[in-house]
Structure 1
Amino acid sequence: DSRLPLPVRNNLLDLFGQIEREFENLYIENLELRREIDSLNERLTADGQSTEGGDLIKGALKTKGTGYNHSTSQLSQKLKTTYKASTSKIVSSFKATTGSRAVCQLIKEYVGHRDGIWDLSVTQTQPVVLGTASADRSALLWSIETGQCLLRYAGHAGSVNSIKFHPTEQMALTASGDQTAHIWRYLVQLPAPQPLSDVNVPCDDDQDVSDREEGEVDGEGPCEVPTIRVATATLKSHQGVVIAGDWLVGGRQVVTASWDRAANLYEVETSELVHTLTGHDQELTHCCTHPTQRLVVTASRDTTFRLWDFRDPSIHSVNVFQGHTDTVTAAVFTVGDNVVSGSDDRTVKVWDLKNMRSPIATIRTDSAVNRISVSTNQRIIALPHDNRLVRLFDMNGMRLARLPRSNRMGHRRMVCCTAWNDENQLCNLFTCGFDRQAISWNINIPALLQEK
Structure 2
Amino acid sequence: MPVDNVNKSKSKGPGHTVRQHSTGMAGRYDSDTDNPLPAAFRSRLHHLFAQIEKEFETVYAENLLLQDKVEGLQERLDAYIAGDKTGVETLDTPDGGVKAKRSASHISQKIKKSYIASTSKLVSSFRQATPAYSVVKDFRGHKDGVWEVNVSKLDHNIIGTASADHTARIWNLETGQCLLQYAGHQGSVNAIRFNPVKDLVVTTSGEGLAHIWSPQVNLPPHEIIRSHSSGEDDLDMSEKEDMADDFPEQTVNNTLRTPSKELIGHHSVVIAADWLNTGDQVITASWDRTAILFDAETGENISTLTGHDQELTEVRAHPAQSLVVTSSKDTTFRLWDFRDPNMPVTVFQGHTQPVTTAVFAGQEKVVSGSDDRTVKVWDLKNMRSPIATIRTDSSVNRLCVSQQNIIAIPHDNRHIRLFDINGNRIGRLPRSNRTGHSKMVCSVAWAEDNTVCNLVSCGFDRKVLGWNINLQVKE
Q: TM-score scaled to structure 1, two decimals? A: 0.73
CA RMSD for the aligned pairs? 2.3
Note if 1:418 corresponds to 2:447: no
1:129 to 135, 155, 158: 158
In structure 1, how many angstroms separate the alpha carbons of the residues matched to 2:153 and 2:58? 46
Contact 2:138 2:464 in 1 (8 A): yes
- Alignment partners' CA distance in 2, 1:138 and 1:85: 41
Write the distance in 2 (CA, Å) between the matches of 1:255 and 1:292.
Answer: 15
| One-letter amino acid of the counterpart of residue 141, structure 1 | I
Quote the residue 2:302 is aligned against.
274
Which residues of structure 1 form unaligned runs of 5+?
Answer: 2-18, 20-82, 190-212
Distance 1:84 1:301 in 2: 26
Q: 1:166 aligns with which of 195, 204, 228?
A: 195
**Separation in structure 2 between the aligned mates of residue 343 and residue 306 of structure 1, nearest angstrom:** 14
Which segment drifts farther, 111-120 or 223-232? 223-232
TM-aligned CA deviation for residue 218 of structure 1 = 4.6
Listed one character per residue, the Cα deviations across residues 249-295 of structure 1 (whole Å, up to 9, x for unaligned) are: 01010100000000000011111000000000000000000000000
- 1:94 CA drift (Å): 4.1
CA shift, 1:340, in A, is 0.2
* Greater CA drift, 214-223 or 403-412: 214-223
1:329 to 337, 356, 359: 356
* SS of match in other structure, 2:397: coil
Instruction: Confirm or deny: 8 A CA contact 1:111 1:217 kept in the other structure.
Output: no
**Paired AA for residue 91 in structure 1:** N
2:139 is matched with: 110
TM-score between the two structures when normalised by the length of structure 2? 0.69
Correspondent of 1:245 among 273, 283, 288: 273
> Structure 1 residue 87 and structure 2 residue 112: aligned?
no
State the match for 1:352 in structure 2. Answer: 379
**Structure 1 residue 216: deviation in Å?**
3.8
Measured after TM superposition, the shift of residue 315 of structure 1 is: 2.0
Aligned residues: 344
The letter for the 2-side match of 1:271 is G
Q: 1:279 to 1:369 in 2, by over 3 A?
A: same
Determine the structure 2 residue equivalent to 1:430. 456
Selected match of 1:225 from 235, 253, 257? 253
Q: Which residue of the partner structure matches residue 36 of structure 2?
A: none
**Deviation (angstroms), 1:188:** 2.9
Whole-Å separation in 1 of the counterparts to 2:362 and 2:57: 36
Give structure 2 stretches of 5+ with no counterpart. 6-54, 72-125, 219-237
1:18-417 paired onto structure 2 within 5 Å: 87-95=59-67, 96=71, 97-126=126-155, 128-188=157-217, 216-218=241-243, 222-312=250-340, 314-376=341-403, 378-417=404-443
> Contact 1:151–1:227 (CA<8 Å) still a contact in 2?
yes
* Local SS of the residue matching 1:227: strand
Cα offsets for 1:170-203 (capped at 9, x unmatched) = 21000100100000012137xxxxxxxxxxxxxx
Indicate the SS of the match to 2:62: helix
Deviation at 1:149, TM superposition (A): 1.1
Among all aligned residue pairs of Structure 1 and Structure 2, give the percentage whose two residues are the same amino acid. Answer: 54
Partner amino acid, structure 2, of 1:248:
L
